[in-house]
A = this chain, B = another copy of it.
Amino acid sequence: MQSLSTETSFALLEKLRAERPLVHNITNFVAMTVSANVLLALGASPAMAHAVEEQQDFAAIASSLVVNIGTLSAPWIEAMKTAAGHYAAAGKPWVLDPVGVGATGLRNTTAADLLSMRPTVLRGNAGEVMALAGMAGGVKGVDSTAGSSAAIDAAAGLAEKFGIVVAVTGETDYVTDGVHTVEIEGGHELMPLSTALGCALSGVVGAFVAVAPPFEATVAALATYAAAGKIAGDLLAGPGHLPAELCDALYALDANRLAANASVTVMGA
């Protein structure tokens, strides 16, 4: 744990680029295109498939799965659960992004059901993580109104209870397995003004867990994204070109740029 750093994150990024894992996404309609572009720029190979009939086939060929509940409906929920079951049975990692949990009963039930299937990594904002932990979170639509540090305890509780890695992202990001917690700094204030960049980050986590153990993979994913987000945002005066610049920053990210634009700190060590 002590060895986690931007250097170890970059080593995993290089591993990811060499292996080019196939990352299967069942994600929301708003996030699909930007998630695919982010994964391609990162060095992964994205696939999007939501038909319940092809979940078993994808679990056989893909390296990991990302489930995002942003735009739900009954057939998609069935596909999400089916897919999670097949990936778990195959011993392959999967990531849960519980978009907007706390906002509606359907999201609450779906997110709780999926969480009970023990995703490899749960990634959400503070409001979503607190809602899942049953605390009084502040979910306003799909954005969180609470700072990410407010959800550290909730995240650690969920991590311990389900035996998973939990990432809370926001202005500062946290990764916890219930025992250890790592803080990642970076990113840019324009990022919340460009839609689905959090969803795309879950895709990035999905790519890293395909090539490394969950905790280290999640830290590396968040550090990579934080650095690319800062590089991209620093070039811009508004949010319009942020997805394109984020992709370019991911595509061109090297060890020096990663270390200069993000930090990884093991907490309470």
Interface set of A (CB-CB < 8 Å, partner B): 22, 24, 28-34, 36-37, 40-41, 45-51, 53-54, 57-58, 61-62, 70-75, 100, 103-107, 140-143, 192-196, 237-241, 243-249, 251-252
Contact = CB atoms under 8 A, between A and B. Distances in A.
A243 B41 CA distance: 13
B244 A248 contact: no
Q: Select the residue from A47, A192, A248, A251 with max chain B CB neighbours within 10 A.
A: A47
A195 B33 CA distance: 7
Contacts of A71: 48-50
A22, A49, A240, A244, most chain B CB atoms within 10 A: A240
B240 A104 contact: no
Contacts of A62: 141
Contacts of A53: 74, 104-106
Contact of A103 (B61, B73, B248): B61
Given A30-B32, A54-B105, A41 B239 contact: yes
A207 to B, nearest CB: 12
B247 A244 contact: no
Nearest to A22: B141
Nearest to A20: B140
Contacts of A54: 72, 103-107
User: Is the contact region of chain A dominated by helix, strand, or loop, or is it mixed?
Assistant: mixed
A181 to B, nearest CB: 29
Contact of A45 (B47, B143, B196): B143
A72 B57 contact: no
Contacts of A75: 73
A140 B36 contact: no
Given A53-B106, A140-B22, A46 B195 contact: yes
Contact of A240 (B32, B46, B47, B246): B246
A252 B49 CA distance: 35
Given A41-B238, A57-B105, 8 more contacts: A30-B48, A40-B192, A45-B141, A49-B72, A51-B73, A54-B106, A54-B107, A61-B103
Given A141-B22, A195-B46, A37 B246 contact: no
Closest 9 CB pairs of A and B: A238-B248, A240-B244, A240-B247, A57-B104, A36-B195, A54-B104, A47-B141, A240-B248, A238-B251
A49 B104 contact: yes
Contacts of A140: 22, 45, 61
Nearest to A246: B240
